[in-house]
Amino acid sequence: MTVTLADVAARAQVSPATVSRVLNGNYPVAAATRERVLRAVDDLDYVLNGPASALAAATSDLVGILVNDIADPFFGIIAGAVQSEIGGPGGRAGGERLAVVCNTGGSPERELTYLTLLQRQRAAAVILTGGAVEDAEHAAAIAGKLRRLTEAGTRVVLCGRPPSPETGAVALAFDNRGGGKRLTAHLLGLGHRHVGYIAGPRERTTTRHRLEGHRAALAAHGVDDDPALVVHGPYDRRSGYDATSELLRRAPDLTAVVAANDTVALGACAALRDQGLRIPADVSVAGFDDLPFSVDAVPALTTVRLPLHEAGARAGRIAMGKEEAPPGGVATVHGELMVRGSTAGAR
């Protein structure tokens, strides 16, 4: 039937333990015997049984990555970067680790379910990406789960998500508040006074922080914060389109729109064009994240660049213990304001 380590041992005239040592490369083995074992492995087309190894060694080579939506490049870029760093020292099919990507859709329930599943797999590490839902009950449940994971030896890293104290999780938080503030300040500096804001979904840390930044900039410039100029919606193109139409209806004198992210901004641009408004001559538009397509929008999108790849890679390295965690277990990753053609002076 299926060939086992014992079969390999028999064929190579050694003990199963020796085969194991050769395959894991952790103990010294004479070159000659190693050769013999490897030949037997090839001859028999032997493939190690992962579950059995994991059971015996009480560790696995699975790394969990929780994302809101893997179809969104924001998460795809982070996930790809993480993956590029979780490989072991290389060698044959040796040090490799596998990335388990879990689409939570932003639902705390699914987040919990997936964390349990990863715990069940005895994942070597878990990386949670993107903003968290701001619900006390769920936050507590997730914090509890994270604590149990770290206690069991699973490294937990939050990437683009605020710290979760007392859980042992390392956090690389994005400076959404600061980025949002600089972005709106840029618009106010251009003379805009009626700035619409398309916020992300309610009760999300990312949404709140970006919005707080926006409001901080308004306050700093002494501009009135009109609640009618803020509309909430999901992080998709459609939301940007609809919200912009709504904002235009509420405030025809709008001269600028700040979107929750670049994807939403693209929808906003489409809505403006469909209304016969020029960008930026009539209305300026700004996004957030600086996804790859944003520079190719017409006009190119003013936005806040988040170093998604770097952050994901760093999260991966920390999760693998290749890089030291930041002091206090928390680091803030800053964005960079990218001023492009989609914003200009108010008409």
Residues that bind DNA (CB under 7 A): 1-2, 4-6, 13-21, 23-24, 26-30, 32-34, 48-49, 52-53, 55-58
Stretch that binds its own copies, among 12-20, 101-109, 182-190, 210-218 (CB under 8 A): 101-109
Asked if 206 contacts 218 with a C-beta cutoff of 8 angstroms, the reply is no
CA angle 240, 241, 242 (to 5 degrees): 95
Least distance from C-beta 5 to its own copies, angstroms? Answer: 12
The count of residues interacting with its own copies (CB under 8 A) is 58
Kindly state the helix (H) or strand (E) to which residue 62 belongs, with its residue range. Answer: strand 62-67
In the chain the first and final C-alpha atoms are separated, in Å, by: 77
Stretch that binds its own copies, among 10-18, 34-42, 108-116, 247-255 (CB under 8 A): 108-116
Least distance from C-beta 66 to its own copies, angstroms? Answer: 11
Region 253-312 residues binding its own copies, contact defined as CB under 8 A: 263, 266-267, 269-270, 273, 292-293, 295-298
Q: Using CB distances below 5 to 8 A depending on partner kind, what does residue 28 bind out of DNA, its own copies, none? A: DNA
Asked if 183 contacts 337 with a C-beta cutoff of 8 angstroms, the reply is yes
Residues whose CB is less than 8 angstroms from the CB of residue 50 and which lie 6 or more positions away in sequence, other chains included: 60, 61
Binding mask 181-220 for its own copies (x = CB under 8 A): ----------------------------------------
Distance CA 273, CA 1 (A): 65
List the one residue out of 281, 286, 276, 249 whose CA is nearest residue 345: 281
Cis amide linkage into residue 227, ω under 30° from 0:
no
Residue with tokens 């949404």: 207
Q: Is 70 in the site for its own copies (CB under 8 A)?
A: yes
Choose, by CB under 8 A, the member of 52, 219, 220, 281 that binds its own copies: 52
Kindly state the helix (H) or strand (E) to which residue 158 belongs, with its residue range. Answer: strand 155-159
Q: Is 245 in the site for its own copies (CB under 8 A)?
A: no
Choose, by CB under 8 A, the member of 71, 227, 327, 328 that binds its own copies: 71
List the one residue out of 205, 218, 296, 210 whose CA is nearest residue 256: 218
Closer residue to DNA (CB): 17 or 228: 17
Binding mask 73-92 for its own copies (x = CB under 8 A): x-xxx-xxx-xx--------
Choose, by CB under 8 A, the member of 37, 62, 156, 243 that binds its own copies: 62
Chain mean position to CA 222: 35
Q: Is 152 in the site for its own copies (CB under 8 A)?
A: yes
Closer residue to its own copies (CB): 258 or 265: 265
Q: Is 228 in the site for its own copies (CB under 8 A)?
A: no
Residues whose CB is less than 8 angstroms from the CB of residue 35 and which lie 6 or more positions away in sequence, other chains included: none
Least distance from C-beta 125 to DNA, angstroms? Answer: 18
Least distance from C-beta 96 to DNA, angstroms? Answer: 14
Q: Is 17 in the site for its own copies (CB under 8 A)?
A: no
**DSSP state, residue 265:** H
Q: Using CB distances below 5 to 8 A depending on partner kind, what does residue 14 bind out of DNA, its own copies, none? A: DNA
List, as own/partner pairs, every contact residues 241-245 make where C-beta atoms lie below 8 angstroms and the sequence separation is at least 24, other chains included: 241/267, 241/268, 241/270, 241/271, 242/267, 242/271, 243/198, 243/267, 243/268, 244/196, 244/198, 244/268, 244/271, 244/272, 245/271, 245/275
Least distance from C-beta 346 to its own copies, angstroms? Answer: 22
Residue with tokens 């982070």: 78
Note the residues at the interface with its own copies (CB under 8 A). 2, 45, 47-55, 60, 62, 69-73, 75-77, 79-81, 83-84, 93, 96, 98-103, 113-114, 116-122, 148, 152, 237, 263, 266-267, 269-270, 273, 292-293, 295-298
